[in-house]
Amino acid sequence: MKNLFLVIILSILTQTSNAEQATSGNLLPNAGVGTTSVQNQSGSIDGINGSNGWTTSGVSNFNNELEAQGTGTISANGSLLNITTEKENGGQFTTTTNSLDGGVRLDSTTEVQSCEWIGSAHQCGQATNGRDSYSTTVNIKDENNQVLSSVTQNRNNDAGYYGNTFTYNDTVIHNGTGARNWDWTWTGVDGNNVNATGAVGPNLLGAELTATLLDIDYSPIPPAVQTELVSFNNEIREEFKKLEEVINLKEEVKLEKVASIQEEPKLTEPKMEKFKEPVKTMPVKKEEEPKQFVTQNKQITSQSSSPAQTKTLKQETSKEEKMVKEIAKEEKTEKTKQVSNKSSSNSNVSSENKPSVSVVLQKTMDKIDERVKDIGKNLKIKNLFKMRAMVDNSLLDVYNIPFYETKNIYKDQPSIQDNRRIYTTSLESYQRSDPIFQMQRNVQKMRLQRERLTREIEMLKNGQ
């Protein structure tokens, strides 16, 4: 799970697959010397032409080589800023802090001779017992010379002069920010006496150190975005932690369920011989059960109205309905007369001359007030009449009145639409390259996976 976390973070935060690289020439003091007579002529490593520019200790200086005594060191250091490099697609580029923050790789190549011991196949010089050894160390440092990345390799390959030299390569990479300086050291040790003062140790014949910028177009992330990335980084860690807990819990529930199924005893049917004795049942008194219900029913009946009262209510209701029908009939007859009178005077009767529903309703209410003086009955008859009118859809027109009068105030407006394309990049493509959006999507995926596993655990617990 931790490896998966690292893969997700690296896939979001490092995008060097399409980044342009640039490589420097030899950064060591012997840059530009070319191959010397003691080197393998098939190679192209810069040889040694003295100790100028190097920092040495326990080393003898010869014409085309630097030889370690009992223990000898040769070192150099420098800045990674303002170095002229060659771009992989052609052209030169001078290193800057931003380009260095895109990542740096240092490649070291060293050519040696170590035949000054008795067992060497290329025995030379003052051969003694004990095989000689040598090592190289390359460091990438920040502006305060604190080591950010380092590599050290120890070797004891048997090598002679000319065509028998031995060449080895070492590489160190720093993918983070802050790389500003470099440091290089070669050490030779005599296999017979590490404290010897004579020139009896391995010889450095050639050396090169190059720097490669992994992304020369690197641009630092703004502090606000960096804070968000750190926050999401912590959130992803928490999500992975919870997801691991859910997965572990699911596995435990599965194991418990399997164990319970394996250990569950087989159920056996009980023997019926124990129940040979017949069971005696008590007789049920049917008359006792409904007594309470009957009593309550009688009480309810006594509290309700008597048959005579019910009959009176029905009669009154039918009278009221009859009166509503009579009034409606009169209104209909009156409307017919008005229409016939108007049609006799003018054959073209428009809908505008018809009385409105509100006027007809008001006349009906007035007639009810004239005939029925009892307030209770008056209200009942009015309500009945209004309900009948609503059923016939003749009363709904009274309420079908627009709240605002429609008026078109925007006429003959000129077209102000601008069809120019302002944004060349769509929102979708921008989101795909946004690290925060990508991390949010990954967090959401993990949450959904955790919820799905949680539901599966609940189903396993419930035995579904």
H or E stretch at 84: strand 84-87
- Better pLDDT: 194 or 233: 194
Average pLDDT, the chain: 77
- Write out the H or E segment, with its range, that includes residue 141: strand 133-141
The confidence band for 311, taking pLDDT boundaries of 50, 70 and 90, is: low
Amino acid at 93: F
CA–CA distance, 165 with 196 (Å, rounded to integer) = 23
Q: Residue 4: which pLDDT band, with cuts at 50, 70 and 90?
A: very low
178: pLDDT confidence band, cut at 50, 70 and 90?
A: very high
| pLDDT bracket for residue 164 (50, 70, 90) | very high
In the predicted model, is pLDDT for residue 361 greater than 90? no
* Position with higher pLDDT, 198 vs 379: 198
In this predicted structure, the answer to whether residue 6 has a pLDDT above a threshold of 50 is no
Percent of the chain scoring above 90 in pLDDT: 40
In this prediction the pTM is 0.50
Nearest residue to 134 via CA among 96, 185, 199, 89: 185
Beta-carbon contacts of residue 429 (< 8 Å; ≥ 6 apart): none
184 pLDDT higher than 80: yes
Q: Which of 54-63, 166-175, 334-343, 367-376 has the lowest mean pLDDT?
A: 334-343
**Residue 284 backbone dihedrals phi, psi, to 5 degrees:** -100, 130
pLDDT above 70 (res 247) = yes
62-71, 137-146, 371-380: range with highest mean pLDDT: 137-146
Nearest to 69 by CA among 187, 152, 174, 155: 187
Helix (H, G, I), strand (E, B) or coil at 136: strand
Burial class of residue 397 in the structure, from the number of CB atoms within 10 Å of its CB (0-12 exposed, 13-18 middle, 19+ buried): exposed
| Higher-pLDDT residue of 262, 208 | 208
pLDDT score recorded for residue 352: 45
Most confident of 7-16, 261-270, 300-309: 261-270
Intra-chain end-to-end CA distance of the chain, in Å = 29
Share of residues in the chain with pLDDT > 70 (%): 69
Mean pLDDT for 175-186 is 96
- The average pLDDT across 81-103 equals 94
Find the mean pLDDT for residues 117-146: 94
Comparing C-alpha atoms, which of 206, 204, 115, 189 is closest to residue 154? Answer: 189
Place of tokens 């923050």: 101
290 has a pLDDT exceeding 50: no
CA 111 to chain centre: 50
pLDDT at res. 277? 46
Q: Is 460 exposed, middle or buried (0-12, 13-18, 19+ CB in 10 A)?
A: middle
Q: What is the CA radius of gyration of the chain?
A: 52
Q: What is the mean pLDDT of residues 47-71?
A: 93
Choose among 178, 12, 202: nearest CA to 116.
202
Amino acid occupying residue 451: E
pLDDT at 292: 44
